[in-house]
Amino acid sequence: MNNACELPSIAKKDERLCKMLDDTKTIAIVGLSPKEHRDSNAVARYLQSEGFEIIPVYPREEFILGQKVYRTLDEIPQKVDMVVVFRKGSDTPPIAHKAAQINAKYLWLQEGVVNDETMQIAQEAGITAVQDRCVMIEHKRCKNA
């Protein structure tokens, strides 16, 4: 894993993000790579180890981290609390629309993923959204603060 999701030495927790994470049980991860050295896989493993139910959304593979893989968010047959996105910012507006269709409460664009249109789509759909933040870092901050 590269430095993208390492916990900085100086950090303050964000109460809003902590509330989102406390309120989340099931996380669909769009772009969850089966490759262990990829940030998406490391973050998903961490979240899984912390008790979150992880649902991989990926164009290939049948199982990742022991979980059935879905091709799109709307194929997931259960309630999803949070959608975490490991894709380019330009790919995220359709994901925001799908997150709204499945009634996700939260949309989280990982560190380095930014798209103002996506944030607007989420806001208009009543989804609390975050961009350019690492869900693993924020969870560690909340847990260790």
DSSP conformation letters of 38-72: SHHHHHHHHHHHTTPEEEEE-SS-SEETTEE-BSS
How distant is the alpha carbon of residue 61 from its chain centre?
Answer: 19
Residue 84 predicted with pLDDT over 90 = yes
Reply yes or no on whether the pLDDT at 2 is more than 70.
no
pLDDT-derived band of residue 31, with 50, 70 and 90 as boundaries? very high
pLDDT band at 5 (very low <50, low <70, confident <90, very high): low
Any idea what DSSP says for residue 112? T
CA 9 from centroid of its chain's CA atoms: 23
Q: Quote the tokens at residue 65.
A: 């981290």
Domains, the chain, ordered by start: 13-144 (3.40.50.720)
Contacts of 57 (CB under 8 A, 6+ apart): 28, 29, 30, 31, 32, 69, 70, 71, 72, 73, 76
CA distance 79 to 100: 12
pLDDT exceeds 90 at position 131:
yes
Identify the weakest region by mean pLDDT among 8-22, 90-104, 107-121: 8-22
Residue 101, SS3 per DSSP: helix
Structure confidence at residue 144 as a pLDDT band (50, 70, 90): confident
